[in-house]
Amino acid sequence: MSSIEPTPPLILFQDEFLVAVDKAPGVPVQPDRTGDLSLLQELRSMFPNATVGSPHRLDRPVSGITLFTLTGPALRAMDALYREKRVVKSYLAIVEGRTEVKGELQHQLIHAGGTRKAKVDKSGGEINARLKYTTKALGERFSLLEVVPEGGAFHQIRAQLGAAGHPIKGDVKYGARRGEPDRSIALHAWCMQFKHPITGQEMKLRSPFPERSIWPALVALARDW
């Protein structure tokens, strides 16, 4: 459970078909067993006359852009875009250690038996998770990365960066040395690009940089936003 008090989500984009909000870490996208108020429930309260749907989700400790649909046809159309891998998502991550300027990771990820965790399968199976990263800033003990995943495997970014020896700050499940006081992890859904499934408009949505922890210090070191 999160120590973060629920606050109304920041709306990043809204029309009659879609609404994108900036998710705070610790807030579930959909109802879960904790019973905590989810973003989906909150959006349904904010838009009582709409058919609010959730075509994708972020892990609870992750922050950033989360997209919801406001009509049934929009939900079906966005589901198709995700299924056809026509939504490009970029994340920012603060990871332990100093990383190369650019890198690419490829793994076969599987569910670890009996846990809500992914692990690398080293048996030589087919690769199902790829990501590319660019190092945006280097600190003394941490690096700020822009990460573009391919594949959509469960916990993909978290598991792949952890397997590469650069766990995300605060993500003790995947090897971080210690957790964050608010139980967040330093992974932020920063940018989302797709063609609006109803209007055809080219969409490029961005979420504000996080202001918690060491985010502002590392963001200030980056020069090429």
Sole residue written with tokens 């026509």: 86
- Per-residue HEC secondary structure of 126-190 comes to CCCEEEEEEEEEECCCEEEEEEEEECCCCCHHHHHHHHCCCCECCCHHHCCCCCCCCCCCCEEEE
CA distance 42 to 30: 10
- Whether 5 is covered by a domain: the verdict is no
pLDDT at residue 159 greater than cutoff 70: yes
The rounded Cα 200 to chain-centroid distance in angstroms is 24
Domains held by the chain: number: 1
CA distance 20 to 214: 25
- 74-93 tens-digit pLDDT: 999 999 999 999 999 999 99
- Whether 1 is covered by a domain: the verdict is no
- Whether 192 is covered by a domain: the verdict is yes
- Whether 3 is covered by a domain: the verdict is no
- Whether 186 is covered by a domain: the verdict is yes
pLDDT at residue 36 greater than cutoff 50: yes
- Whether 4 is covered by a domain: the verdict is no
CA distance 20 to 39: 11
Domain of residue 108, residue span = 10-221
> What is the pLDDT confidence band of residue 1, given thresholds at 50, 70 and 90?
very low
What pLDDT score does 2 carry? 45
- Whether 97 is covered by a domain: the verdict is yes
- 187-208 tens-digit pLDDT: 999 999 999 999 999 999 999 9
Identify the CATH number of the domain in which residue 174 sits: 3.30.2350.10
